[in-house]
Amino acid sequence: MPSPQQPIGSGFRAASTAAEVIKGIDLSGKTAIVTGGHSGLGLETTRALRSAGATVVVPVRSPDRARDMLAGIDGVEIEQLDLMDPASIDAFADKFLATGRALHILVNNAGIQNVPLTRDARGCEAQFATNHLGHFQLTTRLWPALRQAGGARVVTVSAWAHNLSPVVFDDPNFERREYDGWLGYGQSKTANILFAVGVDQRGEADNIRGFSLHPGLIIGTNLSPWTTPEYLRTNDLIDEHGNRVIDPESGRKTAEQGASTTVWCATAPQLDGMGGVYCENNEISPLLTSHDDSIDVMTGRVETAVGVMSYAVDPQLADRLWKLSEELTNSKIQ
């Protein structure tokens, strides 16, 4: 069976913004949830979806802070959610399901990057827990609302950093191997892509389609407070004066440009009837067959590569991850 990772000629570019991608699309009467939708890429995603008429629910750890950052955007509902806390996820999902609303778009956007070794209450490594397991539990708990939509998309923000590591099924939580923050991040981003494949496998019959994406290299998103100025300069993300370098063709984007691929995956009519694919630059990415050795964030030099590693879109690995995630979260589709 041929890989679905085939570009379709979207007509958009790496420099396209979320506003350009959503122009002409009407989301009136539809409901979207955007985790971390109050800052950075999430804020631009919220802004775009709301501009097209969607009601947007933004679940965050700090509602008061989110209210300040979302001031001026009407039609946004702010709720409490901590992706590291299973009880918080269940409480949010129960509250949303109790409204009886259908969920048309779920954007799993929130994430952390290259953090010191931390574990959740279940003993799961923080990046795997936040970036993947929390969103896995959230999505499965919200499945009845996604099914009710009669056509829904689950969009999970991944990254080119999936090149750094597959999911290490024998030790996903670094219990028997030395911890490295970048390897943990890379593993979680691979999990995001495999999760989108798994969503699509299980949701296609109900027209619930899964997508994942790389937004680009965007600084100033609060993703990782541990990223140093030296790292940013080494990778041409800031210049010698500390100003951001914007070069969309090399992946160095503004937040408005970075959010465009999220919004494209969530709304583009071109993707109707499709799913289970990884996207970047507002296009389905080609399949890579070998590791790109130019990508090595651990030694300080990053060159972006267009494409997705085959281990990240392998249906059998997606199924294996789904079963592991069910075990770790005690959450299944209802």
Report CA torsion sign: 153, 154, 157, 160: negative
Q: Which of 179, 185, 278, 311 is catalytic?
A: 185
Decide: residue 313, CB within 10 A, 0-12 exposed, 13-18 middle, 19+ buried. Answer: buried
The pairing of beta strand 308-309 with beta strand 287-288: parallel
Report CA torsion sign: 15, 20, 25, 29: positive
Rounded Cα–Cα distance for residues 183 and 103 (Å): 33
Helices 40-51, 255-267: inter-axial angle, 10-degree rounding: 50
Per-residue DSSP letters for 150-178? TSEEEEEE--GGGGG----TT-TT-SSS-
- From 190, 184, 192, select the one nearest 116 (Cα to Cα): 184
How many other CB atoms are found less than 10 A from the CB of residue 131? 28
Backbone angles phi, psi at 26, to 5 degrees: -110, 115
Spatial neighbors of 304 by CB under 8 A, at least 6 apart, are 160, 216, 217, 250, 251, 295
231 is a catalytic site residue: no
Q: Please say whether the beta carbons of 295 and 160 come within 8 A.
A: yes
| Active site members | 185
